[in-house]
Structures are given as structure tokens and as C-alpha cells.
Amino acid sequence: MALESTTRNLDQQIKLGSPKVLEGHTTYVMSVFVKDNLIISGSEDKTIRIWDMTKWECIKILEGHTNCVSSVCVKDNLIISGSDDNTIRIWDMNTYECIKILEGHTWGVMSVFVKDNLIISGSNDNTIKIWDINTGEFLNVLKGHTTYVISVFVKDNLIISGSSDKTIRIWNINTGECLKILEGHTSYVWSVFVKDNLIISGSWDNTIRIWNINSGECLKVLEGHTWSVMSVFVKDNLIISGSYDKTIRIWDINSGECLKVLGGHTYWIKSVFVKDNLIISNSLDETIRIWDINTGDCLKVLEGHTSNVMQVFAKDNLIISGFTDKTIRITPISLFLGEFSVFQSVINSYDIIPYLAREIMNYFDCK
């Protein structure tokens, strides 16, 4: 309940001023993650910072990586970080010491996330690797993609990966076997998402495809975007897509019909995701927009930023975002949607880790 108390206090602060801004990194903030009252951030400055949301200050700087920290996540009392130095590091949150360095990738590690006791890492070396989180032992490598692995999603014992080789692969997480190769997109597959027995993919070819996860058959091709589809997310029976054409589209997952087109961003949309009944979009126009998923109305534009948003994380009642201006900003959703109590039902119920893993294209901004 400590995070609830933090968000209540933050609500009161922001009613009197502007969103909270954390400063300390010396260059781009590439990745953010929230664990209880702590924000963990990874930066192009090669460090990880730990921020205490009860004091709004940096309490620890983790040093050791020799290049950009592209991705961070937390499992229990462990921080896992992936870097452009080709390594993954595991840090103890009690001592803040680096307890393991995982080596094996031959190019930058763009994404790390955890399923049970497994660390899954995606890299520009065209592979996905699986590691034991307790021992640091390398368990398996998923090889088959012929160019960059851009997006990764885990469902049960399956890993679904999208690549710039235009394909999607389905892998067995235990054996490392490639079970199926899904072909049909004519350009990079930027984003993949799994809903029940369906895979939804967004591509540079301007389309979204819906696939049967068991047969590998393409069931539908959704056309409408006029430029690359960078991000897809599924909420109930709705597909939400964000595109470089500056729009967000809402589609019926069963019929494939486009139900709404949300316009307002003035530059490329990098990512979209859903929290409760809200769509949160991140654009290179230096804004984050909050939309009502039912009406399509834009409820709030988070602006005033002087740089691009690198990554957005939603946890309970907070939106935490990292920027190219070296800062992290924290905004409570209740600031523009009424009292905090409206969101009590979603406290500690929203798992954003798959979303973070999918948005590894943020890495390219680091190169």
C-alpha cells in the first residue's frame, strides 16, 4: 500500500504545480521500471539509477555497464539490466551490488524480461537467449531469424518474436525449438502481441495481421494505416495500433473492422498500450496522450516536454516516462480523471512487463 500512499501525496503536489521531474542522468533515459516505492531507470550514460518516490531523490547509482543501458526490469529483489555492451547484469536490490554478469550475446542487448525463473533477452545479434535467473547459467539460444529481433512476447511456454527479416517465429521456451515461422508481412515486424490463441503483429508494411497461434495461419490483414505500424496492443476484443502516420486506430479483433481513428499527435507514434479503459500513446512530437478507449476522446495531453519520450511505464495510478532530455517525469492518472479512489480496483493488477519487452525498438534511438 506504500505506492498508493505515494500516489495520493503526488496527487496533492501536482494539483499545486507540475508533474514531478527527476534529474540526474547525464544523457537519454532509455528504460524505466517501478518496484514498490522505487523507480529503476537505465540510461545511455551507462548507469542505472534507483529513485525513492517517497523522497523524490536518487538513492543509488549502479555502475558497471560500459555502454548504453537499454532495458531494465525487476524480479523479486533482483534488478536485471541489458546493455549495448552485449551483457546482462543481475543486481541485488538489498546491497545494490552486481552479483552476476551474463555474457554470450555478440551485439547489443535490447530487451530483458523475466518469466518465472528465466531471463529472456533479445539482441541485435539476431538471437534470443534464455538464462537461469538464480545461477546465471545460459540455458538456450533461439536462432533462426536472419536479421534483428525487434519484438518479443511470452505466453505460457511460448516465445513469439518479430524480426526485420519480415517473419514471426514461435518458439518452445523449454526446448528452444522453433515451432512455426509465420510469413506474410512484406517488411519489418515491429510489434507482436498475443491474445488467447491469436497473434497480432504490426509491420513497416503499414498493416496489422492476425494469426492463429496453433496453425500459424494468417486469419486477417487489417489495412488502413498509411505508414509503419510501430505498436499493437489488445484489450478485450479490441486491437489498438499506433503508427508513424500519426494516428491510433481501434479495431474489432473478430471482424477486423476499424472502429475509430484517433488523431491529434503531430509526429510519429512510437508506442501504445492500455491501462484499464485508457489508451496511453507516446509520440516523437514530445507528448504523451491519454484517450478514452470507449469514446476515442483525448482526455489529456501531457506536454511541456522539451525532448522526445523514450519509454512510458504505467504502474497503478502513475505514468512514469523517460526522456531524451535526461529526465524522468511522474504524473498521476487521477490528475485529470478525478479522485484516486476511482482506480482502486486496478491497484497491483496490471502487468506491463510484456509491453516493455515488445518496445525494444527504443534501442535504435540509442545508436
Q: How many CA atoms lie within 13 A of 45 on its CB side?
A: 19
Q: Where are the alpha helices (DSSP H) in the chain?
A: 2-15, 334-337, 353-358
- Average model confidence (pLDDT) for the chain? 84
Dihedral sign from CA coordinates of 204, 226, 245, 334: negative
Q: Rounded distance, CA 182 to CA 150, Å?
A: 15
pLDDT digits (tens, 9 = 90+) for 135-181: 999 999 999 999 988 888 999 999 999 999 999 999 999 999 999 99
Q: Which residue has the higher pLDDT, 366 or 51?
A: 51
Whether the per-residue pLDDT at 311 is higher than 70: the answer is: no
User: Confidence band (pLDDT; 50, 70, 90) for 353?
Assistant: very low
pLDDT of residue 207: 98
Q: Rounded distance, CA 23 to CA 365, Å?
A: 20
> Contact at 8 Å (CB) between 168 and 151?
no
Q: Rounded distance, CA 343 to CA 338, Å?
A: 10
Place of cell 476484443: 237
User: Confidence band (pLDDT; 50, 70, 90) for 231?
Assistant: very high
Whether the per-residue pLDDT at 279 is higher than 60: the answer is: yes
Q: Which residue has the higher pLDDT, 317 or 41?
A: 41
CA 125, distance to chain mean position in Å, is: 20
Q: Averaged over 259-284, what is the pLDDT?
A: 91
Q: Rounded distance, CA 190 to CA 150, Å?
A: 6
Q: Averaged over 243-264, what is the pLDDT?
A: 97
pLDDT digits (tens, 9 = 90+) for 6-53: 545 554 544 434 578 889 999 988 888 989 889 999 999 999 999 998
